[in-house]
Amino acid sequence: MAWYWQLLVTLLVLVAVLTIAAGLIWYERRLLSLVQDRYGPNRVGPAGLLQVLADTFKILFKEDWVPPFADKRVFVVAPSLVLITALLSFIVVPVAEGWVVADLNVGLLFVLAMSSLAVYSVVLAGWSSRSKYSLVGGLRAAAQMVSYEVFMGLSLVGVITLAGSFNLSDIVEGQQRSVYYVFPQFIGFVVFLVAGLAETRRIPFDLVEAESELVAGYHTEYSGMKFGLFLVGEYVAITLVSALIVTLFFGGWLGPWLPDVVWFLLKTFVFITLFIIIRGTLPRLRYDQLMALGWKAMLPLSLLNLLITGAIVVARAG
Amino acid sequence: MTSDGTRQSRPPAPVETHPPLTTDVVVTGGLARRGQPLLPRIGRTVWSTLVGVGVVISHAWRSRDTIQYPEEMVYLPPRYRGRIILSRDPDGEERCVACYLCSAACPVDCIALQATTDENGRRYPEWFRINFSRCIFCGFCEDACPTYAIQLTPDVEMSEYERSSMVYEKEDLLISGPGKYHEHDFYRVAGLAIGGKGKGEAENEAPPSDVRGLLP
């Protein structure tokens, strides 16, 4: 591949992901108000689209305050980690045939590694704030994200066995040869969806922020653009999980008539919308419910899925 | 406090016993009870979640609760306590007789006025001033007014960029009509002698009784 093509794809993915993540702030607010009999932001620009810009300006002009009691270095580094890990995960996601920043053989493992690293951002943010709400938020983040990491990985093993590769492009091409993996891997899809919700700390798994009990959880002490980074990082993560679901279970860029990229974006937006609708529907789980759902329901389910998939693959090969 | 530093004024609290935490609430969404078969419980949970999503989505097509304020206005009932005005008689004269009752009734002292008399002996305010940055719109002035002159109206759009603009003078307060009580004319029912009208000459008034005529 020519270096300029590589550069172009890199820039394209970076700009597209950040634009989508910023646009999601508007999209989520509009969609949530739509299902709550409200209008949402509709004043700034056409249909309120420039609200994002207005919010950005506002947040940029806010005082960049570091609490005197905080652990300053860690406090400053933590918010950028969440964005960096989410953006880094995107380099292995193929947007269209051949449109991938880094065609890694360990693609899926890389994504899982990055999502494990993302925990550090939240935990360190909570820890370095030296405030009780932040600390409890960070503590919950550690427990929640570490537990859900386990079967997030396990739920994908079925896909990997079917495709015979960790490479995301190979997985999409494997679906071109057979069917979308959502059909043979429906349990895997459901488990991954739940794990994805938990990994992105979205309702119903937003115990980490839990504004009704923890003020704002791990980012209680953050303000200005540092808080903005957490926000953008969360939306990048939502985009990432949606893109991963599309790539792994819904055939990525595959689809008739329309160009590859359009299919990929359309499918991704369906899942982003689903995430927002889920936020509009479900209440927050209690901590013990969260753990019970993870270890007692999702883990056995993903193991069962793994067993069945493995048996079928072995039987076919045999 | 005892010598070893422990507080002994209160007996130790009994240990609270919780019912054992179960996955029931998680797995069933609170719909099913323990002891029921697992699979139907899961099925009901999934179904109830899907129904919930359906209800949420159906709200996208319902009418909005929001009132788009600058374009649409919220309904304010006629007796709403908003901007204060001074009204006029049906014949166009000022109703206010500068009795100071509104000023006295005002709990935040935002009304100030100066009484004077015209050539017919009719009292009116020389100046009348309401400081709306103090006004709490309680309506006590309207209650106190014996002539229905001061009235609160259903208007709340009074924002200003300067504090001094919140002070309304008499020419800002006085309106051309009678406000809420169209027919009321204080001097027509008050029994007062005023320029051009003797005692008891108005509608619904009887001439004053001759106190000596009642003698036997």
Question: Which of B50, B56, B72 is best to mutate for the A interface (most A CBs within 10 A)?
Answer: B56
Query: How far apart (Å, rounded) are the C-alpha atoms in residues A40 and A35?
Result: 10
Contacts of A278 in chain B (CB under 8 A): 53
pLDDT of residue B108: 93
User: Would you place residue A259 in the very low, low, confident or very high pLDDT band (cuts 50, 70, 90)?
Assistant: confident
Contacts of B49 in chain A (CB under 8 A): 281-282
- The mean-pLDDT minimum among A21-25, B25-29, B56-60, B199-203 falls in B25-29
* A40-72 tens-digit pLDDT: 888 888 888 888 888 888 888 888 888 888 888
To the nearest whole Å, the CA of A278 is away from the closest chain B CA by 7
Query: Computed from CA positions of residues A161, A165, A167, A168, in that sequence, does the dihedral angle turn out positive or negative?
Result: negative
Nearest CA in chain A to B25: A289
- B114 close contact with A: CB closer than 8 A: no
Interval A186-210 mean pLDDT: 85
**ipTM of this complex prediction, to 2 decimal places:** 0.74
Residue of A30, A35, A286, A295 to mutate, testing the B interface (most B Cβ within 10 Å of its Cβ): A35
pLDDT reported for residue B204 = 67
Spatial separation of the C-alpha atoms in residues A149 and A251, rounded to whole Å: 23
A221 pLDDT more than 90 = no
B31 close contact with A: CB closer than 8 A: no
- Kindly report, residue by residue over A82-125, the tens digit of the pLDDT: 888 888 888 888 887 777 777 888 888 898 888 888 888 888 88
Residue B5 region by backbone torsions, left for phi larger than 0, else alpha for psi between -120 and 50, else beta: left
Q: Looking at the complex, does the CB of residue A207 fall below 8 Å from at least one CB of chain B?
A: no
CA A77/CA A128 separation, integer angstroms? 10
Burial of B27 from C-beta contacts in 10 A (0-12 / 13-18 / 19+): buried
The region that residue B171 occupies, defined by phi over 0 for left and psi between -120 and 50 for alpha, beta otherwise, is alpha
Our CA-based measurement puts residue B17 at a distance from the nearest CA of chain A, in whole angstroms, of: 17
| Eight-state DSSP code of residue B4 | T
Q: Is A117 on the interface with B (CB under 8 A)?
A: no
pLDDT tens digits for A1-47? 678 888 888 888 888 888 888 888 889 999 999 888 888 888 888 88
- How close does chain B come to A248, measured CA to CA in Å? 23
Q: For chain B, what percent of residues have pLDDT higher than 90?
A: 29
- Asked if pLDDT for residue B1 goes beyond 60, the answer is no
* CB-CB under 8 Å, A34 with B59: yes
Distance CA B199, CA B59 (A): 68
Residue to mutate among B18, B21, B26, B28, with most A CBs inside 10 A, is B26
In 3D space, the residue among A69, A107, A71, A72 whose CA is nearest the CA of residue A88 turns out to be: A107
User: What is the average per-residue pLDDT within A126-153?
Assistant: 86
pLDDT of B28 higher than 60: no
- Interface check for A304 against chain B (CB to CB < 8 A): the answer is no
pLDDT digits (tens, 9 = 90+) for B94-121: 889 899 999 999 999 999 999 998 887 7
